[in-house]
Amino acid sequence: FVSLGQILTHMQTSIRELTEGLEYEKNKLQKEDWIKTNYTNIFNKLQGINSNEKLADTLLSELTPAIKSPLAVFYLREDILKVEGEGLSTDLLLVSSYAYKKRKGLSNRYKLGEGIIGQCARERKIIQINKIPNDYLFIESGLGEGKPQSILALPIMLEDEIMGVLEMATLIEFTDESYKLLEQVAQNVGIIIAGIAS
């Protein structure tokens, strides 16, 4: 024999579980929509660009606010940047930056395997660093400066070929949505770079 109280308790539990399930699906769809919308906006701005410098500047200007990254640098292979000429290396050269202040002792050029930029290019994998040391890097504004919480180096590829590396810093850790957006962007920027080079 089931009492009325037990029936009501069961109904309340069922309604709560249904509501939680609907809320989860709603949040999931909103996150997917955020990724698609930002990806589309970024690539619409990149259409028709015919220089790697302009591509890098536009990409950083659009991508950094989207993922709330107030600091970013973009490196490309030297032989891609300077298509004509002999003896060009596959070193990665700084092409563009977003709110980056040059610091003494840091290079604008990296060989494969050298530093985080070069290692990201060699491994062709994302490298993420959390718990940044206090004196490692500062994000500056006219009002002050803060220490980043997370740095991410992202390889820019065309099939199996490394084209460049994008490195970004955030004052908060990268969200799953930001991470997915960055992966999608990285998968397709290499195509645009190859088009410009050809």
- pLDDT tens per residue, range 6-24: 888 888 888 888 888 888 8
Please calculate the CA angle 138-144-148 and round it to the nearest 5 degrees: 30
Burial of 103 (0-12, 13-18, 19+ CB in 10 A): exposed
162 pLDDT tier (thresholds 50, 70, 90): very high
Q: 154: which strand partners?
A: 166
pTM above 0.85, yes or no: no
Residues 38 and 127: their CA atoms lie apart, in Å, by 22
- What is the DSSP secondary structure assignment for residue 131, as one 8-state letter? S
Query: Which residues, at least 6 apart from 59, have a Cβ–Cβ distance to it below 8 Å?
Result: 42, 46, 74, 96, 166, 185, 189
Containing H/E element for 78? helix 78-81
CA 172 to chain centre: 13
What pLDDT score does 103 carry? 62
Q: Can you read off the two tokens belonging to residue 32? A: 């997917």
